[in-house]
Every structure is written in structure tokens, then in C-alpha cells.
Chain A
Amino acid sequence: MNVLWHRLRFFAGDAWDELRHSPGVNLLAAGTLIAVLFGAGLLALVLSNIENFVAELRDDVRIEIYLAEDITTGQRNVLIRELRSIDGVTQVDRIDKSEALERYKSWAGEMATLAEDLEANPLPESLEVFLATGPDAQALGSRIRAQFSEKAGVEQARFDRSLLGRIEALLNIARLGGGALGLLILCAVVFVMASVLRLAVYARRDEIEIMLLVGATPLFVRGPFLVAGVVQGLISSLTALALVETTRWGVRGYAGQASPALLDLVIEHSLPGRFIFAIIAVGLLVSCTAAWFAVRQTRGLSNIA
């Protein structure tokens, strides 16, 4: 244990020496990794926010029942009473015409001024029926929609989950496509980084030859390069994460006023913990793999026949 600790301390010291003595090469390698992880981080940020949005939609199982202009108070009360008596219905809210207009204005942003030119409020009164989430919600929603579409005083009942299905399908494509593309890019980055780091190893070939001649094992020679890879991967991924968060804040601050709904959709929340962990893990993996490929050539320098 003691020997292992001494070895690790020596590797760390030598790794620091390596980073200090070849700043150009190491900065180039780290810069490549930061750029790729930053791109991956931004993609993860957008995907995770869209995922949040989809999850909110999925939990928000509601039927909108638009009422006729000439509905009577009695008809409305019967509808509300019948809806509330159905198992699985958690809440029924009445949205009158003025509230419907207010909602439109808050949703439309700058376009809301269009509503001010109208002589009368064209929006219908409606009932919002909330259902308990669960596997039966879809069937129940469809049944209520069919049942209440024909009732007296009802203009239209809407329960449309196809948009959610389409968004989820697009999200899955984005996940798969992003994953496959990300894998290809990471392989390319490993190749580029390994080529760059190989220059650092090559610059130290005389030193490596000496180390091996005095009895260092190939692992002992490679150790500092691998530790340097770990340090580089960690610093690169943390820098990329900091850049992603800074970019998120910057974009929200700069363009937040212009298009709040769209921006909130894609950058409202910071990267969740699992993505932060994944980016750090990928950074370490890429950097260590590149370092490993780079130092594999010490076998050729080993002077062991």
C-alpha cells in the first residue's frame, strides 16, 4: 500500500513535470477535448431541457372541453358534476372567456397586441379536466372526449396527445443520432489527442530509453503520462462544463427578452447531475484512452529485445 502510494505520488509529480515541460502540446490536446465536450455539453443541455418539457407534458394529462356560446348555467353545472363523478378525474376548472383572453395574451408575447384590435372577445369559455397520470390516462381521456363531444352545450372536446408522441419520437431520434455522432466524434478526438500526445512522448524518447535501461517497467514509464491524461481529462471536462453554464447564463441574459418561450424550452435549467457526471466521465475516458494510445509506442522504445 505504502509502495503504491509512493508510486502514485511519483507519477503525479512526473505528470506535473510533463504538463509543465510541454505546455504547447498539452494545451492543444486539452483545447481539442474542451471544444468537443463543450459542444456535447450544449447538446446535452438542450436535450435535457426538452426532456423536462416533455416530462411536464406527460404529467399534464388534461382534456379541454370548449363550451357553446349559448350554453346555460344549468347545462354547465351538469357537465361539471358529471365530469367530477368520473373515476380518474382529479380536477375540473372553468375557464371563462376573459381568463381565456388573459392566457392568450401572456402566451403570445408581443403578438398579444393583435387581440386589442378586436371588438369582442372571440375566445370560447371552456372546462379543463385534469386526469390522474398513469397507464389508463390515455384510454380514459379518449373515452371522456368521445362521450362529452356530443353533450348539449359542448362545442368541441379536445384530447390530443399526438403532439407529445411526435416530440418524444423526435427526442429519441436526437438522442440516438446525437449519441452515434458523439461516439464518432469522440473516436476522432481520441485519435487527434493521441497523435498530439505522441509528440510529447516522442520528445521524451531519450529519457524513456534511459528509464527502461535502468530497470523501469513499461508501466512505470507510462504511469506519469496516464496520470497526466487523468488530470488533463478532469480539467478539460470541468472547463467545458463551466463554459456551458456561462454560455447558458450569457444567452439568457442577452436574448432572454426577445424570445422567452423558446429559450426557456431549451436552456431554462442547468445541466442535470447525470449529464455533468457523464461529461466528466467521458472527458476522463477520452483523455486516458488517448494517453494510453500515445504511450503504447514506448514498447517500441523499450530497448527490450
Chain B
Amino acid sequence: MIQLFNVSKRYNDSVAVSGATFEVAKGEFVFLTGPSGAGKTTLLRMMLRQELPTTGQILIDKRDVGALPVSKVPELRRSIGVVFQDFKLIQRKTALDNVAYVLNVAGVPRAQQRKKAYEALRSVGLNHKLSANPGALSGGEQQRVAIARAVVNQPALLLADEPTGNLDPDLAVEIMRLFREINARGTTVLVATHDRDLIERMQRRTVILERGHVVAGAESP
């Protein structure tokens, strides 16, 4: 599903990622970990084409992300579910509208949008908060809305960047349980986190980054 070949990213004099090569197979659940500044977020940003690699190649579902024309980037992003540490919800939209927005962007008819968005929110246990705005939700609830939004379009790949960074440990476990369920339905999941306890608890393959270099876990089992 994801293949990185000798990917590097430089910003002027500093190196964020250096020669990263690893793969994530279809249906796998993989952690990407390392200390702050190791290059985890930069790698995810390159997978979403928020950044271009300085050298190397990133393939997602056999598509060369770096070589995609700009006009094809929205299509790439619609095929990937994304969850962020700061939730990135649209504050003036309700939970239901935040989730439905992704379907709207994908051109799903309005009646189906509401139904699918409702189902997605129900799957994360938020069917009682449909009309609440993000500001009226707790951190854990906001992250569950973000997860519902990420999976409502049934993407083949889910990327999560420090999804539990703003949550207390119990909520973090709850979020990971949701990721595990999503993965069990066939979605490939790549979670970037520096939370060692969480990684040990989940017992999944872990790619370790240090100063931009992949130092362990590069090979799929």
C-alpha cells in the first residue's frame, strides 16, 4: 500500500528525512515512531503531498505521489483518511456536517451523505452529538469525530499523526481501539506517535525513525 524508496527531505541546511526506505503492506497496522523532530510528521506530509521529497520516491497504492500533477492531488487525498493531533475540524460546522463534508467533496448525493455520516459517527459512539459544534465537544469526542470523518469514505489507507497527543491515556487507548477496528475491516493504518506505552500495548510492527533515518522496522513481516 505504501512504499518509500530512499526518501529524503531537506530544508535549506537542515535534513528532516534522510534515505528513508520502508513498506506498509495492504491491510497492515504500522506505527511510525521516534523522538520529536525525527521526521515522522514530515513523512506523513510527503505522503499527503503537502511536501515534496527532495530525493526518492513515495508510492501509495502504486501511485507516485511526488510525480502526481497538482490537479490529481485532491483525488489522492480523497483516497486517504487522515487524523491529526489537533483534530482539524471545521469549527462552524456540526459534527455531522464535518463528517458529511468529505462525502460532499467526493460528490456523494446529499441524502446518502447524511446517512453515511450518521453511520460513521455511530461507529465511533457519537450518534448523540450529531448537531454539536466541535467547540462543544471534549478532546476525545473531537478526535472521534475526526476519525469518523477519516473513515466515512471507506479509504484503503488511514494516516494518523500523533492522534492521541492531546488526549489522556484512557482516551488514547479508546482511540487505538477504534483504529484496530478500522484496520480489522481491511483498511491499512499508519499511526505516527512517540507514545512508547501505546505502541507496546498494541503489539504491532513499528518503524523507528531517528534524526530522519529509519533505524528499525522497515521490513514487512
Instruction: Point out residues on A near B: beta carbons under 8 Å.
Output: 2-3, 6-7, 9-10, 17, 21, 206-207, 209-217, 220, 303-305
Contact = CB atoms under 8 A, between A and B. Distances in A.
Contacts of B75: 215
Contacts of B74: 212, 215-217, 220
Contacts of A209: 88
Interface string B89-119: 1111000000001101111011000000000
A125 B109 CA distance: 83
B77 interface: yes
Interface in B37-79: 48-52, 70, 73-79
Given A213-B77, A214-B78, A217-B74, A305 B50 contact: yes
A214 B82 contact: yes
Which of A3, A17, A303: most chain B Cβ within 10 A?
Answer: A303
A3 B51 contact: no
Of the four ranges (under 10, 10 to 19, 20 to 34, 35 or more), the interface on chain B belongs to 20 to 34
A226 B122 CA distance: 35
Interface of A is mostly: helix
A163 to B, nearest CB: 63
A220 B103 CA distance: 13
A6 B105 contact: no
B77 A214 contact: yes
Interface of B: 48-52, 70, 73-79, 82, 88-92, 101-102, 104-107, 109-110, 149
A211 B90 CA distance: 8
Contacts of A213: 48, 50, 77, 82, 88
B104 A10 contact: yes
Given A6-B107, A210-B89, 9 more contacts: A21-B92, A207-B91, A211-B101, A214-B78, A215-B79, A215-B102, A220-B74, A304-B50, A304-B73
Contacts of B73: 304
